Structure 1
Amino acid sequence: MKYISMFDKIDLHLIRVLHTVLTERSVSRAALRLGMYQPAVSAALKRLRELAGDPLLVRSGAGMVPTVAGLRMIEPAADILRSATVLFSDARSFDPATAQHSFSLAASDYLDPLFLPQLVTQIKSLAPECPIHIYPLSADADYRHQLAQGEVDVVIGNWPKPPDDLHLGRLFGDEVVSLVSHQHPAVRRGWDVEAWLAAEHIAPTPTHPGARGVIDDHLVTQGLTRHITVRCPHFGLIPAMVAGSLLVLTTGRQYCERFTGVLPVQVLPCPVPFPRMMYYQLWHERTHASNAARWLREQIKSVAASLRRPETEAAAA
């Protein structure tokens, strides 16, 4: 109890006076540096002496020097002042060049395959000391809980109707198309709705039993069902599976077109009209005012804008 009552008598202002008096070795110079009147500094020093049970600063010839106890207090006092500065300055500002803030995000692998590589490159070039943790939007991931608990700063993906209990930033919209092998019959003769539905489709593994993706959700509203013969949890591997088979992948044009120059695949229009796939970043109220999190969201938005196809950007505007 004695320690607690003593601790209650110490405030940050006293620590600042203590450090300044001991480093300046002069009450008058300390007063000038602190912007205080000399009697006020003398009064604070008297309180500090009473608390420490030591004179802290004593005369030596024409000047003053710290006592042994005073010398031991200089560095701890400096540590306290530095910590106090960091405690509040980090809340007000964020300097990516010197920050050591850890960023965490969860992202759908339906994104443009260039998105995450370019995002990491941009963050590391601007904030080299900031660690980055990227998590998948997997079947067992509760992104609402992750955001609320601070496990991730932001979630990136596509939702037909994004949740209204989170903050939302729109990244881009994309046309829904189908990706097929150059050898697929539809490349030569085209297809109608019936032929497209009857084709062999490949789709991502559902996030949970009974779940449907945005493609099948829309088909259900039209009273339609496509013929899915392959499910795969690794979306990034699906284009290569399409290239060597007669499978059909239906997703955003921007994703599909990243593979047309590296695989024997081709983009075809869907005979079933789909609404545009909308991609967003979501974040919780707890990080809404954070300067570090705001900076991260700006980088995400910047990279998304740099990857947009011009016609996609015009259509989404």
Structure 2
Amino acid sequence: MAERNDFDKIELHLIRVLQTLITERSVSRAAMRLRSTQPAVSAQLKRLRALTGDPLLVRSGNGMTPTETALQLLEPASRLLQDADRLFSPRARARGFAPAETALTFRIAASDYLDPLFLPELVAHLKHEAPQARLELLPLSGAFDYRRSLAQGQVDLVIGNWLEPPGELHLGRLMSDEIVCLVAEDHPAARMTARAWTPERYLECQHVAPTPLHGNTPGVIDEHLASLGLRRDVVVKSAHFSLFPLMVAGSLLVLTTGRLFCSRYVDSLPVRIVRCPVAFPPLTYYQLWHELTHASAANRWLREQVREVARNVAGHGMPGRAR
């Protein structure tokens, strides 16, 4: 590690280079984002390696991967830059965040369980309000550690549904939805009376479900069933939630999810919404963020836009009626 006199020579721009290199995981992309040249950023990376006594970025396949030390340095580097911005940019604070002028990149990790129209509506809305901004939409999957990504500043916001969201994160409730079943028009459940469509028959059906977000941890549907001492027969698991209605339309599979999602397909596919014979609590969707970005004016604006779009999508849904 560097001696005291070395630290005295570290300028703020070098901290920005450090943060950008770790988040972009590429010297060339970091150079573009910093409006610099690749040789200049390579030289700064060499200097950072000497100061920290760590390689920071190492080759991994066709790309580069941050070392454990680099990941540990990301949060303090981000905080230092935010503090410097507040310290040295009082006029910027007074003006506040200007969406129409920003060229920031917003990184959002989201599930597609909420509504097939939600993410397209969100992108259209954000590009209208902040035309120069860049967006990166990342899928929530079992291979994606969203809690770590939020803590390390790799994503700004995570949108999804949890029975109990992680306690260390800030959260904003977006909407709640009734849990229903989506089945093919010729599925026996579509022809049964409400009395005949029993919990026992529901559990005996063949079900389709998303792959868990964390290893073998059950999703919200199976987690609630387990709390009741029940278990359904899940015969298809897939990370491609948006394809489930097509799978249901051509089979005897049962999809259990929110009404808002299912309602988008009843007019375009041979499917029907039926009530779920097992009582479920409402499916609640949240946006989650870390303390790292909690006070950021840009991220506060982003969260407000997400909330507005979610409210509009829910308000213009096609609720219909389940049998």
Q: Confirm or deny a common fold (TM above 0.5).
A: yes
Residue 240 (structure 2) pairs with residue 251 (structure 1):
no
Percentage of identical aligned residues: 52
Partner of 1:276: 282
> Which deviates the most, 159-168 or 206-215?
206-215
Give, in whole Å, the separation in 1 of the partners of 2:158 and 2:149. Answer: 9
Residue 232 (structure 2) pairs with residue 231 (structure 1):
no
Offset at 1:311? 9.4
Q: 3-state DSSP class of the match of 2:202?
A: helix
2:227 to 221, 225, 230: 221
The gaps in structure 1 that reach 5 residues or longer are 9-83
Offset at 1:209? 3.6
Give, in whole Å, the separation in 2 of the partners of 1:245 and 1:195. Answer: 17
Are the aligned partners of 2:142 and 2:215 in contact in 1 as well (CA < 8 Å)? no
Matched pairs, number: 234
TM-score w.r.t. length of structure 1: 0.69
Q: 3-state DSSP class of the match of 2:99?
A: coil
The gaps in structure 2 that reach 5 residues or longer are 10-84
Relative distance call for 1:85 and 1:227 in structure 2 (3 A) is closer
Offset at 1:110? 1.0
The amino acid of 1:279's aligned partner reads: Y
The amino acid of 1:130's aligned partner reads: A
Offset at 1:208? 3.8
Partner of 1:264: 270
Offset at 1:112? 0.7
RMSD (CA atoms): 2.5
Are the aligned partners of 2:110 and 2:159 in contact in 1 as well (CA < 8 Å)? yes
Give, in whole Å, the separation in 2 of the partners of 1:139 and 1:185. Answer: 33
Residue 210 (structure 2) pairs with residue 197 (structure 1):
no
Matches within 5 A, 1:8-47: none
Offset at 1:210? 2.3
Deviation per residue, 1:242-299 (Å, 9 max, x gap)? 0111100000111111111111111000110000111000011111111110110011
Relative distance call for 1:306 and 1:140 in structure 2 (3 A) is same
Partner of 2:156: 153
Residue 303 (structure 2) pairs with residue 297 (structure 1):
yes
Give, in whole Å, the separation in 1 of the partners of 2:150 and 2:272. Answer: 38
Residue 135 (structure 2) pairs with residue 129 (structure 1):
no
Partner of 1:180: 183
Q: 3-state DSSP class of the match of 2:209?
A: strand
The amino acid of 1:306's aligned partner reads: N
Partner of 1:163: 166
Relative distance call for 1:269 and 1:208 in structure 2 (3 A) is same
Partner of 2:76: none
Larger Rg: 1
Offset at 1:305? 0.2
Are the aligned partners of 2:141 and 2:211 in contact in 1 as well (CA < 8 Å)? no
Partner of 1:111: 114
TM-score w.r.t. length of structure 2: 0.68
Deviation per residue, 1:22-48 (Å, 9 max, x gap)? xxxxxxxxxxxxxxxxxxxxxxxxxxx
Give, in whole Å, the separation in 2 of the partners of 1:299 and 1:171. Answer: 11
